[in-house]
Structure 1
Amino acid sequence: MRDTPTAEARLSVAGMTCGKCVARVEAALLATSGVVSAEVTRTPGEALTHYDPSQTSPSALAEAITQAGYSATPEERHEEAAPAPVAPAEEAPKPAGQSTTLTIEGMHCASCVSRVESAFSAVPGVSSASVNLATRRATVHHSGLAPDLLEKASKSAGYPAHADAHDHAVGPADTGDETREMARLTLIAALLTAPVFLIEMGGHLYPPLHHWITATLGVTPWRIVQFLLTTAVLAGPGRLFFTSGIPALLRRAPEMNALVALGAGAAWAYSTLATFAPGLLPEGANHVYFEAAAVITTLILLGRTLEARARGRAGAALRGLMALTPETAPVQTPQGLENTPVSQLAPGDLLHLAPGARVAVDGVVTEGEGWLDEAMVTGEARPVAKAPGSPLTGGTLNGNTALTYRATATGADTVLARIAAQVEQAQATKLPLQRVIDRVTAIFVPAVLLVAALTVAAWLLTTGNLASALVAGVSVLIIACPCAMGLATPVSILVATGRAAELGVIFRQGAALEQLGGLKTLAFDKTGTLTEGHPALTAVLPSGIDRAEALRLAASAEARSEHPLAKALVMAAEAEGLTLAPATDMAAQPGYGLTATVEGKALTIGGKRAMEAANVAIPPELEQARDSAEAQAQTAFFLAADGKALALFTVSDPIKPDAAPALKSLKAHGLSLVLLSGDAPRVAQAVARDLGIDAPEGGLLPEDKLARIEALKSAGPVGFVGDGINDAPALAAADVGLAIGTGTDVAVEAADVVLLSGRLEGLTAAHDISRKAMANIRQNLAWAFGYNVLLIPVAAGVLVPFGGPQLSPMLAAGAMALSSLAVIANALRLRRAAA
């Protein structure tokens, strides 16, 4: 940030509910003429702005926030008077817009998701709730409710829940325990089911076996054996279907467990009646279906085991990333080096990093020089040089040199933890497509119950055979479980965002995964986005002043600036051994330049637009030199003192080596590429020519970029790639904002997608993953819906009058399990995306 200006405004902001809201408000303020800096916090909804009172006012700042879609009120400040005490009765309520993340137990299908969301939405004070079947998590936005109230609402709907502490230093939830428990239940069920299935079905396939069982045990004793084994299956491993499904039925909110409980329970009850009270059944209907009830339960348990394992694989990439940090680290203490658990580290601790060891937490090097492998975080394969003052990221791998570093962030504040938090947020959000599916599945299970009842009634009316009617009804119940529909979208999102994180691409918003692949236009900033962002001074052309003096004055004014051009001046001055003077009254205008006072001289540094605004005449020789430099894609800007132009500086910023192939790949996929730069038009045109961009525009202010983005939207969805503070408005306004991870915090906060490494290879990877993920989701939905549309009528027996087949309950259970596994297996193919 730059020096504090002469005035400060504090505004109360209402309506912010997420990080992107904060970024939009900051972007709106920074785009306002006269604003030097803006810091916005969502809780308690406040904006602290430093500004030039000659150009703007608190009321104008509030209006800028209102135009961005939020309401704002300047806070009255009476600095000479003591603040009046606030009576307890006047205590301000908790701010709106809080959110709570909960882990939900017992969800197995899309209907479960719908029930839990409805339970949360019914709680007064809840504004929205989003439940993800793949991650088993719910995100609830509310007005400051206690977590236990939300837990109670979920539990009352039949789904126990507990609020997450959300320590992202630990990483996403592991499904290992769930997988092991489901595997144990499946094994028990399989061992109990095997005798029933093998002997009963073997007797049909090999009649002598049936005759031997009948002659040895007798029909009734053998049925009693089946009854005992099947009852053990249902009461033991299969009990979870009944403990969840029956209460759901009683609440008139049936879900998948209810369908399984009804199907397996009906087969068991009918067979039990045929075994112990056969006289109550019609003649010829004395059949048992114990094997169907047992096999149904076993197959569905097997499907859930495989599903849990697949979900574990889907989140393995991110968990593996989080597991890179060591458990302990050597900390320098007055007593010497002590191995301390990473969880106990605090900012400011001095740590030692041995050769080949991993960095424990984020920090900054204090001693030593070496190279670190940061590929696991940024996706950048080349080692990165580190020296005193260089930042370190927790989890990265040290080379062959010992280093000492000071911790700057620990726990949930580290880069890895924030990546995990952002990816989990993206995984928990729902795509617009998923919300349509949720509305369909909300009525799906009741509709299936109705179809099953009508099927039983139709079979009874046409055949009079209760056994056949029951078989048809049970088959409909079993085959219609909407597991595949519930998993079709979230599992693909889970795998795709995990794969993207492996490649150094963070989807901060789940909807960006859907939108990125469908963009029509992709606009780019230039400096730091298409170019390296590390410009070097190429020439100083003085006019009426010594060259070294011109460089010294300009570097003195820019010494505290973070702008890449300012750094180029300062580095050049330091390389020449020039002594810089202190600067006062420094103020920056995004898109114009900088003003400061150095040694009593009022300096203005900037391009032609800045000189015109300051009424500075530019000598013809400097004007011609500027034109020549810009024609060669070099940035040129002037130095003026007390209203007189003194020098021209030219700076060269090389194009990133991967920019040309990345943009060529994007054009091959049908994207229209646009360059929106604050640099001179001739510089923008030269860069665009080298990169094959068809529509370059230069000389744009932040508000100009914003206007261009809005205009481009008329031709279809628009994405914008940028890295600077002046890019934040355009990033927030674009349908998909993509920030270079090496850019400013404001730009990153305004974006939907972050390219951690800063390389444009990440952009092509993100686009590829988005396209493949949406294709994958469409395939899953086609399979899930097609499966139900085709097989429910077959299970009901509509083909039987025409000589066609009818599915038995066992085959229906197998088909249902295979449907879910097919969806999961298809989603797992995304782990190879952008390879």
Structure 2
Amino acid sequence: MSTEELLRQPSTHVIELDIEGMTCASCVGRVERKLGKLDGVQASVNLPLESAQVSVPEGISDQQVIDTVNATGYKARLKPVPSPGLDTRTSDMSGHVHAMQGGQDPDAVPGADSHDHTNHGGTAAALRPRLVLAVVLSAPVFLISMFPALQFPHWGWVVGVLALPVVTWSAWPFHRAAGINARHLASTMDTLVSLGVIAAYLFSAVMLATNPTMTAHPGMGGHAELYFEVAAVVTTFLLLGRYLEANAKARAGDALKALLRLGAKDATVIRGGSEVKIPVDELVHGDVFVVRPGEKIATDGFVVEGRSAIDASLITGESLPVDVDVDDTVTGATLNTSGRLLVKATRVGSETTLAQMGRLVSQAQSGKAPIARLADRVSAVFVPIVIGISLLTFLLWLLTTGNVQDAFTAAVAVLVIACPCALGLATPVGLLTGTGRGAQLGILIKGPQVLEDTRTVDTILLDKTGTVTTGKLAVARTRPLDTLDAIEVLRLAGAVEAASEHPIAQAIAHAAKSGPGLAPVSDFESAPGGGVRGTVDGQTVLAGRAGWLTGNGIALTAAHQAALEEEQNTGATAIWVAVDGRPVGIISLEDTIKDGSRAAIARLQALGLRPILLTGDNAAVAAQVAAAVGIAAQDVFAEVLPEGKVEAVKRLQTEGATVAMAGDGVNDAAALAQADLGIAMGSGTDVAIEAADLTVMGNDLGQVATAIELSRKTLATIKTNLFWAFFYNAIGIPVAALGLLNPMIAGAAMAASSVLVVANSLRLRRFGRQTR
């Protein structure tokens, strides 16, 4: 597509809708198809959350989208805008208005229930009275109908009256949904339930009305032709299943709700030299607020005064407190465990880490994995086919046996057993639970496609600094090579390095500041991946790699090279220092391997991944680090410049590898985007996090392994759900059509299948607890 064509493409924005009245995967398919008919509109509908993410092009209004959903037979509305006073803005990730500042009502954000309707037409509280009535009345209907000893003269009329409220008021959610869809010439799973219940009751009522004396005598005369107990008990079983389902799905969404409740409610700010307590949503950029021991940090910022240890486990999943000092960054919703801190706010409202986590989790839960499309496609045509099979079953039984009772029983059983609610729940409930549990562990899965990607990844590139190692270099030695002593070499190098933001530069500058002090510098220049140059005390000082020196016309002798190799053989990062065109010294810096990196890499290998170390450091340092953490010598990419990281990913992909990349810096962002699976360390930059598919909010490589394990476990759970849902219907329908399944047993089995799918998904809530 040409640039002109791209420019002519309409811009789009994303809105989120609450949609009431959806009951199954067929409803999901209908809404998506109807919205898809609007030019340029793309929609992803989530059944358990009763929500939709809709990409709307320029020229189509939000109201048109809402009207289209309403015309389909459901009730749509934009997700509620947070209450006044919250800092709201458009999210770059989702395009809709969010403000997930701590203290906000979690019901007003994606992923939390924002209305009184959940899947299948009601919350557990709304379904409870209907279920209670059904149980109370269905019990005598069942007992009287099935046990001749309990029957009395004209008992059929009594059970018919008792069953009537059950098949009308208790079953109303099914009938209402079926009616709404029928008006639009559509059918859903509720159509099957409603038809089955109504057919069983009306058939029995007609039989009784045409033969009023058929139950005149207890235990005698045609009572087997009455199916009042089938209509009542099927309704009861299905209501019970949906009641349990509603409870279970509410638990599946608890993780996100709990996440959004983590934030502090109030902040104590310094105003005019005094401490003033304000609601956290009134914080603005630059506010300085007090955090006392035991209090939560109100929002993201950096420490301007004080020293403490921060418990970040609720955000990062890491159990050990992190020490913070002046200039260290802190994250909102984390807990101050010891000293008093003054923190300057740098992010408020929708900009905070907590808000970003909420958006990413909600975005993932509202999306749809490719595996879910299979269920949607099946469900879209399933109901009409089942109704046809039911009618065919009735006709074939009637033609072959002439027995209306047997034909009717088999046809109703087909209708009841076929209702594949489990298909509609298999993917979204598994995704909801898995992503929610991930949020609790400090792992953010950006979208459902990520689950598929984790299954196929076989290679993982690990950026050394900040991922495998601490990334905090410190000067280990200063080796003079000329007339200057070590102190003077460090002083001059520190002066030019102080103007650079590179970690190596900052380490040298810090060492100089702590020792001989920093001299002023002028004419500063920096070359990424090379080095720095400046004028100090009238002398031209260069500090950087060998290539940087030689590129600036500075010759390195054999003796110089021997000194360099000697330093590098210790595993140090060696930096040249030159003054006025001559090498004067080598500064050696050392990084430390993070605790747990070796164990984490072993876990990655156990998952079938080939770990590759990627670093800009020299080969000797890279090899030493690789050996220490268990990475093979041939799996080390050393002396890679920032732009070379993308090439490293591409090279592996060209060789046939499916590549994951873990990194934390701005210079990792392009490689993270290029990789088949990008994993950002949460301690890293916003750019890296934005480019990644998975984000671990902590600083521990072990979380990368946990993230992949959780993603694969979630995908496996979804596949298990889908298998049993398909298997259940594939077996159940022919068994019912052959007359081998009583409609009551079919109703119980159908309800049980939905509950089992949800219960299987809820097992993900226990993921990782055995290791924590």
Would you say same fold, with TM above 0.5?
yes
What is the CA-CA distance between 1:676 and the residue it aligns to? 2.0
Residue 261 (str. 1) matches residue 194 (str. 2) = yes
Q: Which residue of 2 aligns with 1:161?
A: 76
Mark the CA change 1:577 to 1:259 in structure 2 (over 3 Å): closer, same or farther: farther
State how 1:173-252 maps to structure 2 within 5 Å: 173-175=111-113, 177-178=116-117, 182-194=123-135, 196-210=137-151, 212=152, 214=153, 218-219=154-155, 221-226=157-162, 229-230=163-164, 232-252=165-185
CA distance in 1, matches of 2:532, 2:4: 29
Residue 722 (str. 1) matches residue 656 (str. 2) = no
Q: Which residue of 2 aligns with 1:120?
A: 35
Any conservation in 1 of the 2:138–2:236 contact (CA below 8 Å)? no
Q: Which residue of 2 aligns with 1:52?
A: none
Mark the CA change 1:615 to 1:486 in structure 2 (over 3 Å): closer, same or farther: farther
Any conservation in 1 of the 2:459–2:658 contact (CA below 8 Å)? yes
CA distance in 2, matches of 1:120, 1:596: 61
What is the CA-CA distance between 1:731 and the residue it aligns to? 1.2
What is the CA-CA distance between 1:663 and the residue it aligns to? 0.8
Q: Which residue of 1 aligns with 2:57?
A: 143
CA distance in 2, matches of 1:273, 1:490: 42
Mark the CA change 1:621 to 1:104 in structure 2 (over 3 Å): closer, same or farther: farther
CA distance in 1, matches of 2:605, 2:415: 49
CA distance in 1, matches of 2:375, 2:124: 30
2:630 is aligned with what amino acid?
Answer: G
Mark the CA change 1:434 to 1:605 in structure 2 (over 3 Å): closer, same or farther: farther
Mark the CA change 1:685 to 1:267 in structure 2 (over 3 Å): closer, same or farther: same
Q: Which residue of 1 aligns with 2:448?
A: 510
Q: What do you get for the CA RMSD once the two structures are aligned? A: 2.9
Residue 786 (str. 1) matches residue 727 (str. 2) = yes
The SS at the match of 2:468 is coil
Mark the CA change 1:604 to 1:72 in structure 2 (over 3 Å): closer, same or farther: farther
What is the CA-CA distance between 1:122 and the residue it aligns to? 1.1
The SS at the match of 1:617 is coil
Q: Which residue of 1 aligns with 2:226?
A: 288
What is the CA-CA distance between 1:762 and the residue it aligns to? 0.4
Q: Which residue of 2 aligns with 1:562?
A: 501
State how 1:384-783 maps to structure 2 within 5 Å: 384-544=322-482, 545-589=484-528, 591-596=529-534, 603-641=541-579, 643-694=581-632, 695-713=635-653, 714-783=655-724
Q: Which residue of 1 aligns with 2:90?
A: none
Any conservation in 2 of the 1:684–1:696 contact (CA below 8 Å)? yes
CA distance in 2, matches of 1:583, 1:106: 69
The SS at the match of 2:470 is coil
Q: Which residue of 2 aligns with 1:40?
A: none
Q: Which residue of 2 aligns with 1:813?
A: 747
CA distance in 1, matches of 2:365, 2:461: 26
Q: Which residue of 2 aligns with 1:370?
A: 308
What is the CA-CA distance between 1:373 and the residue it aligns to? 0.9
* Cα offsets for 1:328-383 (capped at 9, x unmatched): 33333349444322223322333222321222222333333222211111112111
Q: Which residue of 1 aligns with 2:271?
A: 333
Any conservation in 1 of the 2:417–2:733 contact (CA below 8 Å)? yes
2:387 is aligned with what amino acid?
Answer: L
The SS at the match of 1:648 is strand
Any conservation in 1 of the 2:500–2:526 contact (CA below 8 Å)? no
Mark the CA change 1:73 to 1:409 in structure 2 (over 3 Å): closer, same or farther: farther
2:52 is aligned with what amino acid?
Answer: A
Any conservation in 2 of the 1:196–1:291 contact (CA below 8 Å)? no
CA distance in 1, matches of 2:336, 2:150: 68
Mark the CA change 1:820 to 1:191 in structure 2 (over 3 Å): closer, same or farther: closer
CA distance in 2, matches of 1:826, 1:149: 38
The SS at the match of 1:103 is strand
1:708 is aligned with what amino acid?
Answer: A
CA distance in 2, matches of 1:595, 1:440: 66
* Cα offsets for 1:664-689 (capped at 9, x unmatched): 12222322221222111222112112
TM-score (normalizing by structure 1): 0.82
CA distance in 1, matches of 2:582, 2:658: 46
Any conservation in 1 of the 2:530–2:545 contact (CA below 8 Å)? yes
Mark the CA change 1:173 to 1:524 in structure 2 (over 3 Å): closer, same or farther: closer
1:816 is aligned with what amino acid?
Answer: M
* Cα offsets for 1:725-772 (capped at 9, x unmatched): 332222111111112221233222221111211111101211221222
Residue 359 (str. 1) matches residue 317 (str. 2) = no
Q: Which residue of 1 aligns with 2:284?
A: 346
Mark the CA change 1:72 to 1:773 in structure 2 (over 3 Å): closer, same or farther: farther
Q: Which residue of 1 aligns with 2:14?
A: 99
The SS at the match of 2:456 is coil
CA distance in 2, matches of 1:219, 1:606: 97
1:249 is aligned with what amino acid?
Answer: A
2:277 is aligned with what amino acid?
Answer: N
Any conservation in 1 of the 2:454–2:677 contact (CA below 8 Å)? yes
1:483 is aligned with what amino acid?
Answer: C
Q: List alignment gaps of at least 5 residues for structure 1.
A: 1-14, 16-69, 75-91
Mark the CA change 1:181 to 1:779 in structure 2 (over 3 Å): closer, same or farther: closer
Mark the CA change 1:365 to 1:726 in structure 2 (over 3 Å): closer, same or farther: closer
* Cα offsets for 1:94-144 (capped at 9, x unmatched): 961421122222222221211111122111231x22122233221122323
Q: Which residue of 1 aligns with 2:768?
A: 834
CA distance in 2, matches of 1:71, 1:653: 46
The SS at the match of 2:15 is strand
1:448 is aligned with what amino acid?
Answer: V
Mark the CA change 1:122 to 1:707 in structure 2 (over 3 Å): closer, same or farther: same
TM-score (normalizing by structure 2): 0.88
CA distance in 1, matches of 2:747, 2:407: 17
The SS at the match of 2:667 is helix
Q: Which deviates the most, 194-203 or 823-832?
A: 194-203
Q: Which residue of 2 aligns with 1:22?
A: none
What is the CA-CA distance between 1:461 and the residue it aligns to? 1.6
Any conservation in 1 of the 2:499–2:524 contact (CA below 8 Å)? no
Any conservation in 2 of the 1:518–1:771 contact (CA below 8 Å)? no
CA distance in 2, matches of 1:659, 1:118: 48
The SS at the match of 1:443 is helix
Residue 310 (str. 1) matches residue 244 (str. 2) = no
Any conservation in 1 of the 2:410–2:736 contact (CA below 8 Å)? yes
CA distance in 2, matches of 1:375, 1:788: 43
CA distance in 2, matches of 1:596, 1:111: 69
CA distance in 1, matches of 2:201, 2:407: 15
What is the CA-CA distance between 1:168 and the residue it aligns to? 2.8
2:31 is aligned with what amino acid?
Answer: V
Mark the CA change 1:597 to 1:146 in structure 2 (over 3 Å): closer, same or farther: farther
Mark the CA change 1:594 to 1:256 in structure 2 (over 3 Å): closer, same or farther: farther
Q: Which deviates the most, 249-258 or 747-756?
A: 249-258
CA distance in 2, matches of 1:286, 1:806: 15
CA distance in 2, matches of 1:206, 1:328: 65
What is the CA-CA distance between 1:440 and the residue it aligns to? 2.4
Mark the CA change 1:297 to 1:234 in structure 2 (over 3 Å): closer, same or farther: same
1:206 is aligned with what amino acid?
Answer: F
